[in-house]
Amino acid sequence: MSNPATFQVYAASAGSGKTFTLVKEYLHILLLNPDNFHFQKVLAITFTNKAATEMKDRVLSNLQHFARGHSTDMLQVLIQDTELDAVAIQKKSYQIIEAILRDYSGFNITTIDSFTHRIVRSFAYDFGLSMDFDVELDTNKLLNEAVDAVIAQIGIDQRTYQSTRSFFSSKIRSR
């Protein structure tokens, strides 16, 4: 049985069943804790938006199947893992779906980038950042600005600056 107060990391190659395992663990936690249920306290982090979306879809899809009384492979695994029967899972799944629909923003299956961004935004003042900071994802722009900053601090003459900048720019374009 999973302990919701611990962190679990699953790392495996593509096609090995990571998403199935993550969905099973997520559902397991939800199904065993719905009486004093706070799904907002469960966090699942993936690397890509595609994986986060797929995991959310699978969690919701499984809950819908369970709530409608449909038998699935996941249901059989959860019956064995949780020692709940199909009727109890059906009832709890319905309650969980209703709770998620009332507070969908608290359904925390997200990417590591989004999670980190939320934390940084929460502590922007403490970090000395402007409250309207933004994350730059244009690597070429970021590298050009970094090169400009480094060269400006070196204090070299204009001709050396131009040739160094051209060198770095050509390296960036060849990436």
Mean pLDDT by 10 residues, the chain (175 residues): 60 78 91 72 86 93 96 94 93 91 88 84 80 69 73 65 76 73
Q: Tell me 105's DSSP state.
A: G
How high is the pLDDT of residue 118? Answer: 83
pTM equals 0.68
Q: Is the domain of 160 the same as that of 105?
A: no
Residue 1 forms part of a structural domain: no
Total tally of structural domains belonging to the chain: 2
Boundaries of domain holding 157? 139-173
- The answer to whether residues 74 and 143 belong to one domain is no
> What are residue 13's phi and psi, to 5 degrees?
-75, 165
Is there a single domain that holds both residue 164 and residue 91? Answer: no
Cα–Cα distance, 97 to 161 (Å, whole number): 60
